[in-house]
Amino acid sequence: MAACSTMAVRDPLTREPTPTPRPIPTPRLITKRMSFQSLRSPVLLSPVGGRPFPSPSLFAPSQDSPGWEHINVISPSTASHHSVYSDIEEGFRSPRLALLTSNLSCNPQHGSEGMHLLISPSAPVQVPGDELLYDIATEQKPDDAFFNAEFQAALAATKQEMKDISLAIWGCPISHRLGSDLHALKQWAQQLSEFEPTRTRTIGFVGESGVGKSSVINALLDQPHLAHSSIDGKFSTSVITEYRFRPAHHDEPFGLEVDYLSSEEIKELIEELLRSFRACYIPAFQAIDGAEERQHIKERSEKAWQTLHSMYRDQPIFTREFVLEHTSDIKTPLVGILQRWTAKFLAARPGGLESRTWSATAFNTDECRDKLDAFTRNPLDQSTAALWPLVRVVRIYLRSPILQSGLVVVDCPSPRILNFARSRATERYLRNCHEVFGVTTMDDALSDQCIADIIRRNGRHRPLRIICTKSEAIDPREVERTQPEIRLQTRAFRQQIETLQKQTKRAEAQRRQGILGALEEEVRSRDMLEDMEHVLKKFLSERRNLQTTNHLLAKYAPQVQVGELRVFCVSNTDYFKHRYDDQSRAESRLELSGIIELRRYCHSIPADAQFDTAVAYIEHDVPAFLGSLKQWAIGAITNAGQEQIHDIRQLMQVLEGQAIQKLVLPTAQIQQTRSILNQHFASSIVSPIRENRGDWRNAALDASKEWSKWDAKVYAAFCRQQGTHWTKETGVRSWNEELISPMRLRIETNWNNFQHTIEQQKTDLLHSLGQVFDELCEPLKAHLPSSPVQNLLETMPSRLATISHIINTGFADLQEGTQQIESDTLFGHTSSYINALMAPAYHAASILPTTTPPSSPTGLGRSSTSSSSTSSPTKDPGSSPRSRSQSPTSTSATLVESMSADLLDAKRKHLLTTHIATSRIFARLASMVEKSHRSFVRVVFDGMVASITREVDALIRDLHLVVPGEERIVKDSDGVEHREREKGEAERYAEFAGRLKVRIVAAERVMRDCRGVVEEVSRSVEEPYDETLP
């Protein structure tokens, strides 16, 4: 019988010493890349049995090293045991990491006396007195089941058990052999020990530049300088930035990812930027009467020019005049020139031209910002092009309590002043967020056009919240003058504060003169002054916050159709000013800042999803793993005859084939469910659109004829606003929704029926899954009471529950995504399908003026008009040559000037009507809807199948462990041949397997207690406390 080594067995091969670039000794790093073998410990106590196992002779001679009982690992990570020595080059080490690990000697030989402290890179450096400062961990969490103290304790105990089990498995040499069953179980145990709930909820923060949006995000993340703020509030980039949680077992606390735009997206961006820039130089701009609309077009034009200039700063010839004078009838279009310049620049970007994603890590906020500046800011060198316009999204992974609860925080630019392509992409992103937070300032909350725009775009689709920043900006003297009802109270507070200010200054002067007792008097006076200022600020701020909240609710609450509108008044300045005050003093001041309340609410957003995932982890995932680990420890059936063993082997092969065929292969029910959903969607949604496209096109033409009766200026204004606008004559109208109104009335019920179909298919799939497991279990019962078979049957319910949870989670995502597609199909917002089909016609019609424009004195009007060619309104990869040949095009300046106002109006209206009549809108819309839904279904089901496949692999491994090894002919030392059965892993390491069984029993006892806590907490959620009861 082979003897099992300790938990910290060493490498079979002698390792070369780490090369160092300098002759002086350097500390070796702590990372997860090194195994426990690198500790080179001769004997470590095994968590399995409490006594050491002898090391086998195949390993190198032992060296002195501290035992695990003498090592204290400091880390918030549940996988802190990854923090062991590494051989990373000196040049790739963060300076701070070098400082933190400077207490570690590079000599691998250590004495075993005393405590050896390994500092994980994820741990903050604690100094005396830190325990007195405000601790964010002490903040009150929402009253949700996930944050229940007993539930969190049960979750922590479960993760600790998995950590201990993973350490125990390390004690057996076979666990380090790739391909072995125990190696796979060891990897599984490590994943479970590092568990973090994976169900996330995304919240989007959107607002104009300079309102404090980035500062709010910094305060929520408790990172003062992480999110970039716009420069002097005048200009900020258009990059969407995500903040996601980074598990603590990663080496560096920050992870960075940058997604680039595709070549098609870059082309669309260039075309939209050129169109937006030229918008205020074409003759149509001169005919716009509204000052507000003219200013808005100018702002978008300037924004577009700043973006274009950032992209082509390395081209000396690229100027405003170059863009305006470059006509569309020359041999080389301007878009093609800009695309070639962009391709040349992108060849030198991080990752190269073909890369779609760039990633890196950082050790602190400064390093993180330094690395991201290249993707979010203009380079300091004025002759270097900027990369940020070509970035789709930036992701920052960090360790923040608010992110650990499953939240994804997104910093979005305001779509209001972006070009059409960016605005549509941003709106689509916001509509994928679970909640949207509009950010404004206290002073501008009621008049901020960005808030009105956000509600108009998302009020129908997503829960909306409003954040009012700069709540600390309040002047007591101004309050006295403008609010007579509180004048006396405010003045009394102010006079006391002024008296304390003078008293503090006197004490300070006395202290500087060395007068005895002056220091104590100064400190006392300053504390009294700060307390009085806090009382006055609390009095004035809470009153103003309540007034602002009521006004916002009265104005916007009726427009929000999903959930209730909520308002948060916050002060980022006050939060960071008092963030590191002592605990008792900081609590009241941080509560007044509003950030604590906002953070508490944000914690509650993903709480239900996190609770469901954590419950599945405790009740299903861990028991399934313990069952598989116990299956390994029990080993195969050995007390049966050859015929019975043969039958068992055949049975296990049959069960393996059934599991694969009915759970994974194309013949599986889950694959059939995918086909059924696609077919049902095509018959209930896509087919009615195609069958009624002629009638609906005629109805759309009738609607367009009604619009044609409108005044020329009103009609042109609707074209400029993508068909959704408000005027005194028409009120609020949406051409896009009027075009598809008959379609919406016809198929809206079909969408509801399809949602019921999804639910029914999930029920059928779960029922079929139960039948499959019944079929797998029934033949095994004939071989009871065999211990391996008994354990296999006991593990089956946990395996079934795990797969059921995978299906429930996948179908929840499927229903949510289907609702998103439904919204894009039945409504006319900027990111809807109908708007995408009508946008080219709107663009082409919007460049035509409403009246004959005067000659431009600078010549820019004529040249820009001729150069402002737009894409064909029917431009679509799937459109036919016939439809493309009938597409409307832009009109040259010469032709425009020769037309009368009536002719221009008639041409615009004819252009839009022709587009509706000839561009096959509803046929193309049906194709877009079907393609989007099929793609989404494929992603969801591929994810479910991949997760189920992992569970089936574990099940098959358990089936194999029941079967004894094959017999083979071997020769003994005398050369005599005899038959010998091949031993399994547990038989070869029988002593370790025996101790592992004992450890599993202890883990099962802990898990029973944890499941009991989960059941109790779940019951409290299902049966809330009734306050009317005694």
For the segment 247-274, what is each residue's pLDDT rounded down to a tens digit?
Answer: 877 888 999 999 999 989 999 899 889 9
Rounded distance between C-alpha atoms, residue 775 and residue 768, angstroms: 11
Whether residue 167 sits in one domain with residue 76: no
Query: Is there a domain that residue 871 lies in?
Result: no
**What was the pLDDT predicted at 855?**
46
Does some domain include residue 403?
A: yes
Average pLDDT over residues 25-32: 39
Q: How far apart are CA 658 and CA 461, in angstroms?
A: 44
**Backbone phi, then psi, for 982, in 5-degree steps?**
-70, 130
**Distance separating alpha carbons of residues 178 and 173, to the nearest angstrom:** 11
What is the pLDDT at residue 72?
A: 39
Encode 746-778: b = buried (16+ Cβ within 10 Å), e = exposed.
bbeebbeebeebbeebbeebbebbeebbeebee
Question: Is the residue at 54 inside a domain?
Answer: yes
d(CA 32, CA 248): 11
Q: Are residues 573 and 436 in the same domain?
A: yes
Give the CA distances from residue 781 to residues 631, 639, 776, in Å, rounded to whole numbers and listed in that order: 16, 17, 10
pLDDT at 237 over 50: yes
State the pLDDT at residue 440.
93
C-alpha to C-alpha distance for 766 and 441, rounded to whole angstroms: 50
Residue 754 lies in a domain: yes
State how many domains the chain has: 4
CA-to-CA dists, residue 331 to 318, 859, 875, angstroms: 18, 22, 21
Bridge partners for 133 per DSSP: 582
Regarding whether 595 and 461 lie in a shared domain, the answer is yes
CA dihedral 675, 678, 679, 682 (to 10 degrees): -170
Q: Kindly tell me if the per-residue pLDDT of 35 is higher than 70.
A: no
Residue 235 has pLDDT above 90, yes or no: no
Q: Which of 42, 43, 45, 44 is nearest to 62 (CA)?
A: 42
Do 231 and 119 share a domain, yes or no? no
Would the pTM count as exceeding 0.85? no
Q: Read off the pLDDT of residues 977-1027 as tens digits, 9 standing for 90 and up.
A: 666 667 888 888 999 999 999 999 999 999 999 999 999 999 887 765 454
Is it the case that residue 620 has pLDDT exceeding 50?
Answer: yes
Instruction: Please indicate whether residue 49 or residue 560 has the higher confidence score (pLDDT).
Output: 560
Of the candidates 441, 455, 450, the one whose C-alpha atom is nearest the C-alpha of residue 570 is: 441
pLDDT for residue 75 is more than 50: no
Residue 626's pLDDT is 96
pLDDT of the residue at 280: 87
Q: Distance between alpha carbon 649 and the CA centroid of its chain, in Å?
A: 47
221: pLDDT confidence band, cut at 50, 70 and 90?
A: very high
538 vs 46, higher pLDDT = 538
Q: How confident is the model at residue 51 (pLDDT cuts 50, 70, 90)?
A: very low
What is the CATH number for 541?
A: 3.40.50.300
Query: How much is the pLDDT for 243?
Result: 95
In this predicted structure, what is the pLDDT of residue 332? Answer: 65
- Omega prior to 785 cis, within 30 of 0: yes
The token pair at 357 is 């994603």
Instruction: Find, among 376, 137, 279, the residue nearest to 890 by Cα.
Output: 279
Which residues 6+ apart lie within 8 Å of 20 measured at CB? 26, 90, 106
- State the average pLDDT over residues 504-519: 92
Which pLDDT tens digit goes with each residue over 694-737? 999 999 999 999 999 998 888 988 998 888 888 888 888 999 99
Q: Between residues 554 and 885, which one has the greater pLDDT?
A: 554
Q: Percentage of residues in the chain with pLDDT exceeding 70?
A: 79
Residue 138 lies in a domain: no
806 and 679 fall within a common domain: yes
pLDDT tens, position by position, 750-802: 999 999 999 999 999 999 999 999 999 999 888 878 888 999 999 999 999 99
Lowest mean pLDDT among 279-283, 672-676, 967-971, 1025-1029: 1025-1029
How many whole angstroms separate alpha carbon 900 and alpha carbon 463? 48
Interhelix angle 787-826/607-616, rounded to 10 degrees, is 160
For 568-593, what is each residue's pLDDT tens digit? Answer: 999 999 999 999 998 888 999 999 99
pLDDT tier for residue 558 given thresholds of 50, 70 and 90: confident
Same domain, 82 and 166: no
| pLDDT at residue number 230 | 59
**Residue 202 pLDDT > 60, yes or no?**
yes
490 and 631 in one domain? no
Q: At which of 93, 126, 159 does a domain end?
A: 126
The verdict on 687 and 769 lying in the same domain is yes
- Examine the domain organization and report whether 614 and 600 are in the same domain: no
Question: What number is the average pLDDT over the span 614-631?
Answer: 95
pLDDT, residue 810, reads: 95
Instruction: Tell me, yes or no, whether 553 and 470 share the same domain.
Output: yes
State the pLDDT confidence band at 466, using cuts at 50, 70 and 90.
very high
DSSP helix, strand, coil percent of the chain (3-state; round to 5)? 60, 10, 35
Q: Given this model, what pLDDT does residue 530 score?
A: 92
**pLDDT reading at 50 higher than 90:** no
In a domain, 779, yes or no: yes
Question: What's the pLDDT band for 348 if we cut at 50, 70, 90?
Answer: confident
How confident is the prediction for the chain on average, in pLDDT? 81
Contact 897, 852 (CB under 8 A): yes
Same domain, 677 and 701: yes
> Do the beta carbons of residue 82 and residue 32 sit within 8 Å?
yes
- Residue 365 contacts residue 235 (beta carbons within 8 Å): no
Distance of alpha carbon 849 from alpha carbon 324, whole angstroms: 18
Is 961 contained in some domain? yes
The count of other CB atoms within 10 Å of the CB of residue 291 is 8
Of 1024, 951, 656, the closest CA to residue 798 belongs to 951
Domain that holds residue 765: 651-851+921-966
Residue 521 falls within a domain, yes or no? Answer: no
From 97, 126, 155, the end of a domain falls on 126
| pLDDT at residue 330 in the model | 56
Q: Are 456 and 549 contained in the same domain?
A: yes
Look at 868 and 458; give whichever has higher pLDDT: 458
